Amino acid sequence: GNSVTQMEGPVTLSEEAFLTINCTYTATGYPSLFWYVQYPGEGLQLLLKATKADDKGSNKGFEATYRKETTSFHLEKGSVQVSDSAVYFCALGPNQAGTALIFGKGTTLSVSS
């Protein structure tokens, strides 16, 4: 079945470092791909999404490109800030109408000044 695999965390970086969080997926068809972010004590917020191959989603300096050939949707940011410290979830669009997104296990990012 469809699934998402994220790199295990935690990821610890210094401010202004480059960030990559890997995400790969297994799916039939061509589902949309998502990144959600969860700040401490809060629910999940949609960070960015891509709906088809080669699409690049971007928001708040983060970006991810839908790569069909490598079945990946890695999240990147050129220069992280302390305020980016959060848990990041990669998600795959539902495999049938009315069903939920399929989430990875989440990756914790800690950025220190």
Partner 1 sequence: GAVVSQHPSRVICKSGTSVKIECRSLDFQATTMFWYRQFPKQSLMLMATSNEGSKATYEQGVEKDKFLINHASLTLSTLTVTSAHPEDSSFYICSARPSDYQETQYFGPGTRLLVL
- How many angstroms separate the CA atoms of 27 and 15, rounded? 35
Interior angle at CA 96, CA 91 and CA 97, nearest 5: 100
- How many angstroms separate the CA atoms of 87 and 44, rounded? 9
- The residue (of 33 and 79) whose beta carbon lies closer to partner 1 is 33
> Which residues are near partner 1 by CB under 8 A?
31-32, 34, 36, 38, 41-46, 49, 87, 89, 93-94, 97-101, 103, 105-106, 108
Strands 62-65 and 56-59: antiparallel
Q: Give the position of tokens 């959060």.
A: 86
Least spacing, CB of residue 78 vs partner 1, in Å = 25
- The residue (of 80 and 86) whose beta carbon lies closer to partner 1 is 86
- The residue (of 49 and 74) whose beta carbon lies closer to partner 1 is 49
Least spacing, CB of residue 47 vs partner 1, in Å = 12
Tell me, what amino acid is at 74?
Answer: H
Least spacing, CB of residue 104 vs partner 1, in Å = 9
